[in-house]
Structure 1
């Protein structure tokens, strides 16, 4: 099992933390509001604890579960406390009406976030193609990942598998550009008849 710290107290953070605790991982939740972080940890039960915002996260894997607009700024506040950590970026970069992405051509939110962490940290994109409420419902879903460090991706894949999910490697961190473009696709499908109780997956033919 893995040791996980989750920065953020929103719906996606709660969904990941819930499945992580239920599957036997050690989980720390971190938020600016210490009282809310403590309340979430108590609600999660099991191994869950609340960490201090800006302090060194207890987990070897740190899930950044805050909106893209604030992700780089939040991670920068942790500074060298993230050295040698694996940082999972789950953010989506779509614009206000979800018709496109905010990042310019030739980069991704994950690549920009990677600039905000110490050189020894490894950013892996994951979970951004799964709606939080769908993740919370349970079931085996596909989770696409991208990253430049093979060992970091292997460890993230192990964590994802522990949640009862299937990790699918999309390539290096630059592939996050295409994973983030899935955000507007999912919103478009949801708004045009599919509804929001959907997930994106891959069928591997024999």
Structure 2
């Protein structure tokens, strides 16, 4: 279990339980993200929500959100005002993330302190945080998730890869 491997007080939530901790990973189907955030409402006040969802259409050929927003921005609008949303991890395939290694985790968010906290969390996993800017960039990160699926299907031929930054 990921929470056990993380230690340092990391816990896995159970379905229907109120989210605990300072950082809450929103690991639900994208169309459940806003309803779940509304359901827990004030219990999320003051927390950081890390949105890992990808709002793909049913054929996984496009995004299922309007071009001028993202599911992360929709989550932020549904959350209490003191909640900070950071989009992250959505461009990494599950098995690649589980294998670990020096992977880049792209993220976007409006609050510098929330991004710093998420960056520290990412580093604690042995990964590299890559800040892409404010939460408006979440739309493009969701597009990168879609691009990755296309590469996996057609360009690479499998899903055992990740996109990253080569600094040289």
Give TM-score, length-normalised by structure 1.
0.77
Among 18, 22, 26, which residue is 1:60 paired with?
Answer: 22
Listed as ranges, the matches of 1:1-206 within 5 Å are: 18=2, 20-32=3-15, 53-55=16-18, 57-194=19-156, 195-205=158-168
Quote the Cα distance in structure 2 between the aligned partners of 1:62 and 1:142: 20
Runs of 4+ aligned residues of structure 1 deviating over 3 Å after TM superposition are: none
Quote the Cα distance in structure 1 between the aligned partners of 2:32 and 2:113: 27
- Whether the 8 Å CA contact 2:108–2:135 is kept in 1: the answer is yes
- Whether the 8 Å CA contact 1:54–1:77 is kept in 2: the answer is no
Quote the Cα distance in structure 2 between the aligned partners of 1:124 and 1:24: 22
Quote the Cα distance in structure 1 between the aligned partners of 2:26 and 2:82: 17
Q: How many residues align?
A: 167
Give TM-score, length-normalised by structure 2.
0.94
- Whether the 8 Å CA contact 1:54–1:78 is kept in 2: the answer is no
Aligned-pair Cα RMSD in Å? 1.3
Seen in structure 2, the aligned counterparts of structure 1 residues 115 and 54 have a Cα distance that, compared at 3 Å, is: farther
Deviation, 1:54, is 4.5
